[in-house]
């Protein structure tokens, strides 16, 4: 299969690096959308991860004829009625840091034990071109929230998210280990399977 180029709907070089690692030796080649910050921003106000992911992909696909990859992801805690959810990045307010969000989550989780500390990371990935969604896939990672942060790797809520599959928090795992079990890794591998399958029915041109 010849190389297949995708533009990532983001200005985040860290996210690009993560997706490139997930793509591995496949023919899929990822780049950030050129001049991303000059394009009118998409307002992620949908009540679901799928709505934000698809909306973002469709929005940015208006400004290029290339394939656009967009995702939305976050942490869902049933004991907090699904929070932080789609507001994961804005959980502690505008301009808050990862540390601020972690501290707010820890405060909200005070006194909660056992099953009440269950949590799930969710990721929805959308592929679009010319204002048309070609594929929407999702996956998740199950875990529990620790009583305090552990680990220096990763970002966001990773230091509090203990994965029983890994036997440690996402922030204590290597990037390779996290990619194998993470919500984003699982969702992107589903998309790769669609793109690289001999029976692929997606119309990419």
Domain total in the chain: 1
CATH of the domain at 126: 3.90.950.10
CA 129 – CA 134 distance, rounded (Å): 7
Instruction: Return the number of other C-beta atoms located less than 10 Å from residue 132's C-beta.
Output: 11
**pTM metric for this prediction:** 0.92
Asked whether residue 202 is domain-assigned, the answer is no
Residue 78 placed within a domain: yes
CB 28 within 8 A of CB 6: yes
- Give pLDDT tens digits for 126-158: 999 999 999 999 999 999 999 999 999 888 999
Domain with 182, as residue range(s), is 4-196
pLDDT digits (tens, 9 = 90+) for 75-93: 999 999 999 999 999 999 9
Domain membership flag for residue 204: no
**Rounded Cα distance, 56 and 45, in Å:** 10
Catalytic residues: 72
**Which pairs from 149-152 meet CB under 8 Å and 24+ separation?**
149/102
């Amino acid at each position: 299969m010849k190389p297949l180029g995708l533009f990532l709907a983001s200005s985040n070089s860290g996210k690009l690096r993560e997706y490139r690692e997930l793509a591995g030796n496949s023919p899929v080649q990822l780049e950030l959308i050129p001049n991303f910050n000059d394009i009118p921003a998409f307002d992620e106000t949908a009540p679901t991860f799928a709505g934000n992911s698809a909306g973002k992909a469709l929005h940015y696909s208006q400004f290029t004829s290339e394939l656009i990859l967009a995702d939305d992801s976050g942490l869902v805690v049933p004991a907090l009625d699904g929070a932080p959810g789609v507001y994961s990045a804005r959980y502690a307010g505008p301009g808050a840091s990862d540390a601020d969000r972690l501290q707010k989550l820890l405060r909200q989780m005070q006194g909660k034990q056992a099953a009440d500390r269950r949590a799930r990371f969710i990721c929805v990935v959308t592929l679009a071109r010319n204002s048309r969604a070609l594929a929407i896939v999702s996956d998740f990672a199950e875990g529990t929230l620790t009583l305090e942060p552990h680990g220096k790797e990763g970002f966001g809520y990773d230091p509090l998210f203990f994965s029983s599959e890994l036997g440690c928090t996402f922030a204590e795992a290597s990037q390779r280990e996290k990619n194998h079990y993470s919500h984003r890794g699982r969702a992107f591998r589903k998309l790769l399977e669609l793109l690289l399958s001999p029976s692929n029915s997606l119309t990419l041109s």
